Amino acid sequence: MRIASHDLPNNVFVAPMAGVTDRPFRRLCKALGAGYAVSEMVTSRKELWNSLKTSRRADHTGEPGPIAVQIAGTDAQMMAEAAAYNIDRGAQIIDINMGCPAKKVCNKWAGSALMQNEPLALQIAQAVVAACAPRGVPVTLKMRTGWCAGHRNAVNLARDFEAAGIQMLTVHGRTREQGYKGQAEYDTIAAVKAAVRIPVVANGDIDSPHKAREVLRHTGADAVMIGRAAQGRPWIFREVAHFLATGELLAPPLVAEVQRLLLAHLDEHIDLYGEWTGVRSARKHIGWYVRALPGGEALRQQINAIDNPQSQRDAVAAYFDALAAQMDRLPEQAPALAQHHEDTEEQDA
């Protein structure tokens, strides 16, 4: 798998998810077999670039390349400037967000709302490519199948984006109207793949090695992108990559390994966000790790009452010590996809 001059180790990618796919999470997923990870979306609004949230999202310290940053906005010139801003801060690939269905994004006509305005969507793609090409930085784009069931225009837009110089397309198999409801459909992704020559990535409801293989076969896509199924289960990337390469399933991870991974994740999370914010934003990650495990709900309730990072860490360590006394490995069954509402921050962008 290759994006311009960047060779990737495999074709199993991490989806950009606001409030989730921060630097600690991306580093962890890459260490556990993800071939590529795209950052949380960074706004194109200049007045927010110096905010704490944006500065954290633009922090790529210690992250293995290629560094891919997703940008979001509605003005072509502002998006071009945002691309340059992020390249100056280490971005090696720029991804344009035309896939986020969150109301707070779409109400401002950004994200997947741009698919309703094809001329503007194309202007943004052209402007960002023009800003990135002289610096040797490829531009990719993530979108949905369309705005609604009666307006699936991903194929037409894909042709226009390819002509504008976009070098890879990711398609989530739902419309904006669907949000995360119902089932993702892959026929539109297959049609996009048949319509363009650039790499196409399939996204939506990919939650197991078998599902990844099925989607690749159905769509002819070059890669799969996994979002919600990786929340609390970052080892899914090595499971999928191994299965696609060998046809064999890996055993579930040892409880001791999951404990080590989660504690290291918490340490890096606190280091990025600080104690007050970090201990609170880490709660969702802990909840995802243990949601399908014995006593997981009790731990989640306990964690939600803790506001000290060392106490949080101690509670997690004690939980996994007790779990290890009951079982060596995690159960075979995969946890269900995390459920999100459209107005929450944690969104597959």
Residue 219 and residue 265 share a domain:
no
Residues 66 and 185 in one domain: yes
Q: How far apart are CA 303 and CA 283, in angstroms?
A: 7
Do 294 and 221 fall within a single domain? no
Q: What is the domain range of residue 68?
A: 2-251+341-348
My answer on whether 239 and 277 are in the same domain is no
Ranking 45-54, 77-86, 130-139 by mean pLDDT, the lowest is 45-54
Cα 214 to Cα 153, 186, 211, 260, 318: the distances in Å are 24, 10, 5, 32, 39
- What is the count of structural domains for the chain? 2
d(CA 253, CA 236): 10
184, part of any domain:
yes
Higher pLDDT, 205 or 113: 205
66 and 205 belong to one structural domain: yes
Say if 335 falls within a structural domain. Answer: no
pLDDT in tens, 153-212: 999 999 999 999 999 999 999 987 777 888 999 999 999 999 999 999 999 999 999 999
Burial of residue 65 (CB within 10 Å: 0-12, 13-18, 19+) is exposed
Report the pLDDT value the prediction gives residue 178, as an integer from 0 to 100: 77
Same domain, 59 and 82: yes
In DSSP notation, 65-130 reads SP-EEEEE-S-HHHHHHHHHHHHHTT-SEEEEEE----HHHHTTT-GGGGGG-HHHHHHHHHHHHH
Helix (H, G, I), strand (E, B) or coil at 131: helix
Please check the confidence at residue 296 and state whether its pLDDT lies above 50: yes
**Is-catalytic flag, 29?**
no
Tell me, yes or no, whether 334 lies in a domain.
Answer: no
The string of pLDDT tens digits covering residues 50-74 is: 777 777 777 788 888 899 999 999 8
Question: Residue 289 has which token pair?
Answer: 């790790």
Let me know whether 166 and 246 are in one domain. Answer: yes
So what's the pLDDT on residue 107? 44
CA distance 222 to 12: 9
Average pLDDT of 288-297? 95
Do 118 and 153 touch, CB atoms closer than 8 A?
A: yes
> Of 29, 100, 106, 132, which one is the catalytic site residue?
100
| Same domain as 283, residue 221 | no
pLDDT per position as a tens digit, 238-284: 999 999 999 999 999 999 999 999 999 999 999 999 999 999 999 99
- Alpha-helical regions (H) of the chain: 23-31, 52-57, 76-88, 103-106, 118-132, 154-164, 187-195, 209-219, 236-246, 255-273, 275-290, 296-304, 309-326
Q: Stretch 42-56: mean pLDDT, rounded? A: 78
Please report whether residue 264 resides in a domain: yes
What confidence score (pLDDT) does residue 334 get?
A: 47
Q: What is the DSSP letter of 2?
A: E
**Amino acid 48: pLDDT:** 76
Quick one: 167 and 294 in the same domain?
no
> How does residue 110 score in pLDDT terms, banded at 50, 70 and 90?
low
Running DSSP on this structure, what letter comes out for residue 140? E
Residues 232 and 267 in one domain: no
Question: Are 61 and 95 contained in the same domain?
Answer: yes
Give me the mean pLDDT over the 292-311 stretch.
96
CATH number at residue 316: 1.10.1200
Whether residue 336 lies inside any domain: the answer is no
Q: Could you give the C-alpha distances from 282 to 6, 20, 120, 320, in angstroms and in order?
A: 32, 10, 37, 17
The two three-digit tokens of residue 148, written as one number: 């609604």
Assess if residue 170 is contained within a domain.
yes
pLDDT at 52: 74
- For residues 96 and 161, give the distance between their C-alpha atoms in angstroms, rounded to a whole number: 11
C-alpha–C-alpha distance, residues 62 and 167, integer Å: 26
Cα separation, 14 vs 29, whole angstroms: 7
Does residue 146 belong to any structural domain of this protein?
yes
Q: Are residues 38 and 63 in the same domain?
A: yes
Neighbouring CB atoms inside 10 A of 157's CB total: 24
Q: Identify the CATH number of the domain in which residue 21 sits.
A: 3.20.20.70
Q: Assess contact for 37 and 28: CB atoms under 8 A.
A: no
Instruction: Tell me, yes or no, whether 331 lies in a domain.
Output: no
Sign of CA dihedral 206, 12, 17, 129: negative
d(CA 347, CA 344): 7
Query: Measured between alpha carbons, how far is 204 from 21 in angstroms, rounded to an integer?
Result: 16
Looking at this protein, which amino acid is placed at residue 230?
A: A
